[in-house]
Structure 1
């Protein structure tokens, strides 16, 4: 398992459009991808991601475990950055 920490930079926090982009990327990998904020939830489930209520300035962790974990966590980091959601903490 590998993990990376991020800080939410989007002024609206985690919301539907970027969460959808994260889920789309996450579903392309066989590894288990988890968002750890208030709780640990699957990055392949948009409603669970949104349920965390991640606000600007919040630090959260992304964990990947599986055969393609390194590529998966890098892809998630890229989409978080490209969507203007978060930066590495």
Structure 2
């Protein structure tokens, strides 16, 4: 399992368009993707789950990725989280 913490850089946080892009990218990989914020842990391939986190600009979330292509998924999803666009 790979685990890494990121700080949300998008001014709108992880809502609407950024969340949709994240889920689309996560589902393109065969591995399991979990997103953790505080005590909440959700499936990173679920748009509804991601929206319930309410992750805002400057907040930290942790990705837990397990399985095939985990390293590639971590790199790509990390880029999305660190992007100010989306």
Deviation at 1:12, TM superposition (A): 2.2
- 1:81 equivalent to 2:79? Answer no
Could you give the per-residue CA deviations for residues 42-76 of structure 1, whole angstroms, max 9, x where no partner exists? 11011100101112221110110002111111110
Deviation at 1:9, TM superposition (A): 2.2
Q: TM-score normalised to the size of structure 2?
A: 0.88
Q: Aligned-residue CA RMSD in angstroms? A: 1.4
CA contact (8 A) 2:35 2:43 kept: yes
Q: 1:40 to 1:24 in 2, by over 3 A?
A: same
